[in-house]
Amino acid sequence: TKEAKHVDGFAKECAVVTHHRLVDNGTGELVVDPEAELADPLIIRPTSETMIWNTFQKWIVSWRDLPLKVNQWANVMRWEMRTRPFLRTSEFLWQEGHTAHATSDEAYDEARTMITVYEDLCRDVLAMPTIVGVKSPSER
């Protein structure tokens, strides 16, 4: 599937859920209930791109449906080598915009507008200095 191919880059950061319940082991400690094993393990998806674009494909029938802009907030789980308390733990709240436009110029204009919105929010509302720029390949 498209999602399986896309997730390859995140495979080492995925969480695999194998049981659906914890139980008290008799000493007040919670442990995995061996009777609660899932028939098919669940893999917590690390990213939403393939799900969003599959949905956009259904919602966009003609150019009249454009632009389409979706703001998404979701909890994300990733097992990374080095988490950073207060910056990025294994589970974090992720906010991102997904948009579809008739032209690449419109898409770039939207991206530039949103960069300015985020920069203003950080600087003027949160009093948090920012550095605006393009991510390096190692940050992507």
What are 78-87's pLDDT values in tens digits? 666 676 776 6
Domain range summary for the chain, segments of one domain joined by + = 2-102
What are 71-110's pLDDT values in tens digits? 999 887 766 667 677 666 777 788 889 999 999 999 999 9
CA angle 130, 106, 95 (to 5 degrees): 45
Report CA Rg, the chain: 20
pLDDT at 9: 65
Buried/exposed 3-31: b ≥16 CB within 10 Å, e otherwise:
eeebbeeeeebeeeeeeeeeeeeeeeeee
Are the C-beta atoms of 14 and 46 separated by less than 8 Å?
A: yes
Quick check: pTM over 0.85?
A: no
Question: When comparing pLDDT for 5 and 36, which is higher?
Answer: 36
